[in-house]
Amino acid sequence: MFFDSRRSTVHAKNGMVATSQPLAAMAGLKILMDGGNPVDAAVAAAATLNVVEVVSTGVGGDMFALVWNNNDKTIRAINGSGRASAAASAQQLRDQGHREMPYWGVETVTVPGTVHGWETILNECGTMPLSEVLKPAIRYAEEGFPVTDYISYQWSTMVEKLARLPSGQEMLIHGRAPTQGEVMHLPNLGATLRAVAEGGAKAFYTGKIAEKTAAFIQEQGGWMTVQDLAAHTSDWEDPISTDYRGITCWESPPANQGIAGLEALNIAEGWDVAAMGSQTAETYHHFIEAMRLAFADAFRYVADPAKSEVPTTHLLSKEYAATRRSLIDPNLAMKTAPYGQVTGGSDTVYITCVDGKGNACSFINSVYNNFGTGMIVPGTGIALHNRGALFSLEHGHPNELAPNKRPYHTIIPALATKDNELYLCYGMMGAFMQPQGHLQLIRNMVDFGMDPQKAINALRFMVVDNGVLLEEGLPDDVVSQIQKMGHGVQMVSGYQRVGIGGAQIIQRDPETGVLSAGSEPRKDGCAVGW
């Protein structure tokens, strides 16, 4: 009951990088080999992914990261997400007849936080300048790169979306997506990255790039102004955590959805999971229900804490988890579990980097949906994200769209420590799959003793708005039992399996310093070390 990847766990001592595209993994590894630290490597890999996996990430999106300093045993969390325009108005959208946020219209464009986040984390925690770590990305954009298998498939599904506006042709070859192995050039994106390398974040948020971005958004009917872009800041935050059977699991705080994964772990801690079996109907049922309850809370309470009070401490308490656990029938799915709209998708990139000294960076970068809004700022190669789609239009909701407000955010980096030593640097891309993926990875390694690659290969579930997705390969009798418990089951296979996650894990042995890594076989990437 594992995805047949034919991959084994990768081991090294001096440094390790794992991400969803091999060229990006190697860009990060070279930075480590040249004396950089995990933060330098993560930004280099993220920038390279902006080129070689431009479908899923980019300077037009957002980033988050957790940084582990092995010298002083501390974790720092950076929020590199953008805010809604100062002119954003939920009432205006309601007056236009919208009951929910548009999914990828111009109204969903929030300020892209990526570039400022890159610069901020490098200035605080890196050892190399932005100009140095952007070199691989610039080279691939200008000189070209061969497109990999799954990325070419993703690209092919976005042609119609990109073709809505003339500037979308910057991401196509004579009106079509590049095929597997075909060399793709992104010269306009290369020029934007070169401008950032030379002028820093200021070159992105002010001047010609900002003027082009704001003018384009306004031409399409959006709110964004040059003032919105110039006012953007990244923020350092205190990470949140919970203990799961002696492992401390760390996430970014709200408005990030990492709290949902931690709450589900707290619920699961009250069960003898090992006795249930790793992939039995009983295990699936209990963890699906835990995730549904955690999402119910996330969709109700998670919002920008600068604008709304989020009861984080209460939601993460073991006492609260006990009350939620008591709602779960061991044999029957909750018919009226009050969880919000949950959809699939894997339109994000995740990078894990650990060096030979035990320092780590868990890094995630995204434009949300594939190519975000599908709007490419003319002459820049910037794909504008649709992160604002995750705001609520419900009047008075904590996550209601408002000026200068950050939306509920799906992308979540993760770390785990044991006895105040780094245990895991990990994450899983894929929209609302992410906290569910974290939950399942930790379960696989802690409850069932799997190594990183086996933990990733293990078949997964994903709670969605109309039931649960299960992967092809799960025995028929297990699927049947899950259905009999009342779960609406949909099976996924082929390229669609990527929607059930894109995991990367690096584990560190504090005694030997050995790094052990696994990479998602459902995507194109790899783990590399030296």
**CA dihedral (444, 470, 352, 342) positive or negative:** negative
Task: Mark whether 343 is an active-site residue.
Answer: no
- CA atoms of 11 and 81, how far apart (whole Å): 33
Contact 192, 198 (CB under 8 A): no
Q: How big, in percent rounded to 5, are the helix, strand and coil portions of the chain? A: 40, 20, 40
Q: Give, rounded to a whole angstrom, the gap between the first and last alpha carbons of the chain.
A: 31
- CA atoms of 372 and 61, how far apart (whole Å): 8
Of 12, 10, 63, whose CA–CA distance to 39 is shortest? 63
Contact 347, 369 (CB under 8 A): yes
Cross-strand pairs, 361: 67, 353
Among the residues of 400-472, which ranges form H helices? Answer: 433-442, 452-457
Contact 371, 383 (CB under 8 A): yes
Contact 75, 415 (CB under 8 A): yes
The secondary structure of 42-82 as a DSSP string is: HHHHHHHHHHHTTTT--TTSEEEEEEEETTTTEEEEEEE--
For 286, the token pair is 């209990």
Cα angle 401, 407, 408; round to 5: 125
Of 409, 397, 431, 430, whose CA–CA distance to 237 is shortest? 409
**Among 242, 283, 348, 380, which one carries the catalytic annotation?**
348
Active site residues: 348
